[in-house]
Amino acid sequence: MAMSGGIDSSVAAMLLLEQGYELVGVTYRTFDQISKGCMEKEKGCCSVDAIFEAKRLATELGFGHTILDIRKEFHNSVIVDFIDEYLNGRTPNPCVVCNSDIKWGKLIEIADEQGCDYIATGHYARIAQANGRYFLQKGRDEHKDQTYFLWKLSQENLARTLFPLGELTKSEVRQAALDHGFEKLSKKGESQEICFIPDNDYRAFLAEHVDGYAEKYGEGEFVDAQGKVLGKHKGFPNYTIGQRKGLGIALGEPMYVLRLDVENNRVVLGRKEELQTQMCYAKAMNWMKVEDFTDGMEVMAKIRYKSKPGKATLYHEDERVRIVFHEPIDSVTPGQSVVLYQGEDVVGGGVLC
């Protein structure tokens, strides 16, 4: 049972115990949070406080608990990828990388060592099976559904995973914590931040963790789509596709980041309508409900966690998938995930390129 110390994984553990499962709790130590050069109180799912909250809960509920130090693996996989993506003009999705490469990988290792049949987490998602394949289904709580971050899970991952909260809403989870006598836990908030960037300032994180960052990725030119110079920017990694606020330039009308010219350290700006497109491409696909697809398959495609899915048609194109939307969308961002749905079922996912 992956335990973060938060309400979701804690209630998931309670529900599994009620269903008769024997549990072994596991909490990760992934990152040392040091902010602005001093040791401040850590926050988030991987902080020391959260780790010991998870351990206390496991003890109170009567099952064993292990703290796993995976800081080296987390750095080499999630953080290195996070930095490299920004430095190459893309916007990473660290939770997707962490879930597939770190969390599930390590959980299955421990499950095998402990003789456990399944692994479990507190994600809001469900797992179904058809035609010999496992696939994700959206969680019942549409506001909490987390399938967007889980599209990289393999068939082996899905075959051995339990999602106890998949059929519940967040309010029902809070009520379950209260019903089990954990009033304080039932009122616990949740973080929307990246776990290793507790102040949510990725720019400061890059400046702190990339040697010679200011010199290598410093000032460059804002230009329009025709190449006309509009002003100066602070380095292309500080900007993302679709960004409007924080540009530091006044042009008399709202302007948005259209794309990043990494080679020339330029940031291309334009009007909102210039962000729109009806086509994008994806690579590194992981198929769930189907082993592959036939050209012309229709899906609902989601290009950001908070975005509304759009109806689209899929086509093979070399090593990529061409996704043609039926209506214009905006801010297609290389490096982010695109997840493909049919109803509540996850067909597959990939990385926008």
Assign residue 90 the CATH number of its domain: 3.40.50.620
Q: What is the pLDDT along the chain (353 residues), one digit of tens a residue?
A: 999 999 999 999 999 999 999 999 999 999 876 544 433 444 555 678 889 999 999 999 999 999 999 999 999 999 999 999 999 999 999 999 999 999 998 899 999 999 999 999 999 999 999 999 999 999 999 999 999 999 999 999 999 999 999 999 999 999 999 999 999 999 988 776 788 987 889 999 999 999 999 999 999 999 999 999 999 999 999 999 999 999 999 999 999 999 999 999 999 999 999 999 999 999 999 999 999 999 999 999 999 999 999 999 999 999 999 999 999 999 999 999 999 999 999 999 999 99
With H, G, I as helix, E, B as strand and everything else as coil, classify residue 59. helix
**99 and 11: one domain?**
yes
Same domain, 171 and 233: no
Give the catalytic positions in this structure.
98, 195
Strands 310-317, 298-302: pairing is antiparallel
- The answer to the question of residue 16 being in a domain is yes
Judge whether 46 lies within some domain: yes
Q: Which residues contact 251 (CB under 8 A, 6 or more apart)?
A: 230, 231, 269
Query: Is the domain of 265 the same as that of 312?
Result: no
Q: Which CATH number fits the domain that encloses residue 230?
A: 2.30.30.280
Structurally, the chain folds into a number of domains equal to: 3
* Boundary of a domain, candidates 207, 239, 270: 270
Q: Are residues 175 and 51 in the same domain?
A: yes
Q: Residue 164: in which H helix or E strand, if any?
A: none
pLDDT at 46: 61
Same domain for 239 and 343?
Answer: no
Give start and end residues of each alpha helix (H) in the chain: 7-18, 48-61, 71-74, 80-87, 94-97, 104-114, 155-159, 170-179, 183-186, 202-209, 213-216
Q: Quick check: is 192 in a domain?
A: no
Instruction: Pick the last residue of a domain from 270, 293, 309.
Output: 270
Domain with 231, as residue range(s), is 218-270
> What does pTM read for this prediction?
0.93
Distance, CA of 180 to CA of 351 (rounded, Å): 41
Q: Is 343 exposed, middle or buried (0-12, 13-18, 19+ CB in 10 A)?
A: exposed
- Which pLDDT belongs to residue 33? 61
Tell me what pLDDT residue 31 has.
Answer: 85
Give the DSSP per-residue string, 262-300: TTTTEEEEE-GGGGEEEEEEEEEEEESSSSS--TT-EEE
284 in the same domain as 262: no
Q: Which of 270, 295, 310 is the last residue of a domain?
A: 270
The SS3 of residue 136 is strand
Examine the domain organization and report whether 258 and 347 are in the same domain: no
In-domain check, residue 208: no
